[in-house]
């Protein structure tokens, strides 16, 4: 996965540096507020009767007497569920930018109609969470240990003590179609009409985009693609072996810059960090840049070494979301954009 600015070489540090480091003093007791709220929500699951269960990617089965309707989710998960017609009440993670607009990770969510429990790393308002009377907590997982993404470790026990079952969807060391299917399965369990024409069209668009990307990579095998992310002091070059998008693109034939394992070791295999003086270490014809708000965007990079890169001078820089919104509707354009970039790229490296 491409990395946002960081001051320490850990997975969380890479993606969330600069965020709040802790929740501060919290109420010791918050679980008893869950009972008898009876929130009906407005998602597709409303009115669905009978027991509900879902086995997540930790191998744990979340259960409830009926399909959850007061759902709280990591913002990217909420955006994916929204695309399938399942609404959530609360979100956590990058939801609003500093000017109050929807963050790129919020997708098509109306960010003014959800309760934001925390907008940065380490922020998760347990009082607000409990007040929502949640009956399901959903997020992704970026490691093999089942760590719930953006659920602060220091307050995890208090959050889980509120009583809502939790579901984790793994986006670690697998290709994009797998978590896409898992999110679709979750949405279906929550009452989404996954057989709708809209979903069928989105899935076909995704499959067509995959075929297009495969064809583009085959037609131009010499076009070298680099996945990067910019911070003030460091330029990160991603490896392809852990990220769901890069693993999939590589499987489709895309020719990526691949830092050696020794260079990736310090980050657990995710990326190599370079000083801006060494940003030209790897030759690339197309550069995919982290488009999350935690990373410096290409237009704002002032380093002369960046501006001198052949791909930059040729205008062959495109956006990449290292945390794709897991709906076919949102993932198809990612493949289309890369396919177009390769199709139109000039060999400049």
Q: What is the 3-state secondary structure (H, E, C) of 288-325?
A: EEECCCCCCCHHHCCCHHHHCCHHHHCCCEEEECCCCC
pLDDT tens digits, 49-108: 689 999 999 999 999 999 999 999 999 999 999 999 999 999 999 999 999 999 999 999
> What stretches in the chain show pLDDT beneath 70?
1-49
Give pLDDT, residue 49: 65
Q: pLDDT value at position 50? A: 85
d(CA 125, CA 50): 31
**Pairing label, strands 71-74, 52-55:** unpaired
The secondary structure of 83-144 as a DSSP string is: HTT---SEEESS-B-TTSPBPGGGTT--TTSSEEEESSTT---HHHHHHT--SEEEEEE-ST
pLDDT computed for residue 29 by the predictor: 31
Tokens 């999939």, residue located: 248
Summarised one tens digit per residue, pLDDT across range 134-154 is 999 999 999 999 999 999 999
DSSP-H helix ranges across 132-225: 156-161, 177-189, 197-219
pLDDT of residue 45: 41
């Amino acid at each position: 996965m491409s990395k946002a600015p960081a001051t320490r070489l850990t997975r969380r540090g890479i993606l969330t540096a600069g965020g709040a480091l802790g929740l501060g003093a919290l109420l010791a007791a918050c679980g008893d507020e869950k009972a008898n709220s009876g929130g009906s929500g407005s998602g597709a699951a409303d009115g669905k009767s009978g027991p509900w269960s879902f086995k997540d990617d930790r191998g744990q089965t979340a259960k409830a007497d009926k399909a959850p309707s007061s759902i709280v989710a990591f913002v990217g998960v909420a955006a994916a569920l929204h695309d399938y017609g399942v609404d959530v009440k609360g979100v956590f993670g990058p939801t609003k930018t500093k000017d109050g607009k929807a963050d790129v990770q919020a997708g098509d969510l109306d960010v003014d109609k959800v309760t934001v429990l925390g907008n940065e790393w380490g922020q998760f308002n347990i009082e607000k969470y409990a007040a929502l009377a949640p009956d399901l907590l959903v997020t992704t997982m970026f490691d093999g240990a089942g760590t719930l993404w953006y659920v602060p470790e220091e307050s995890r026990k208090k959050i889980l003590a509120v009583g809502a079952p939790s579901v984790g969807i793994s986006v670690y060391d697998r290709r994009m179609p797998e978590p896409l299917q898992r999110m679709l399965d979750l949405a279906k369990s929550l009452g989404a009409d996954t057989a709708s024409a809209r979903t069928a069209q989105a899935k076909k668009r995704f499959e067509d985009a995959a075929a297009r990307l495969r064809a583009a990579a085959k037609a131009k095998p010499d076009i070298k693609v680099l996945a990067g992310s910019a911070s003030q002091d460091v330029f990160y070059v991603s490896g392809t072996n852990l990220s769901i998008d890069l693993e999939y693109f590589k499987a489709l034939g895309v020719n990526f810059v691949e830092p050696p394992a020794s260079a990736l070791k310090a980050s657990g295999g995710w990326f190599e960090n370079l000083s801006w003086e060494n940003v030209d270490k790897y030759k690339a014809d197309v550069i995919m840049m982290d488009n999350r708000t935690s990373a410096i965007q290409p237009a704002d990079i002032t380093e002369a070494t960046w501006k001198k890169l052949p791909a930059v001078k040729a205008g062959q820089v495109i956006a990449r979301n290292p945390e794709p919104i897991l709906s076919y509707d949102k993932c198809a354009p990612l493949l289309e954009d890369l396919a177009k970039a390769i199709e139109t790229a000039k060999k400049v490296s």
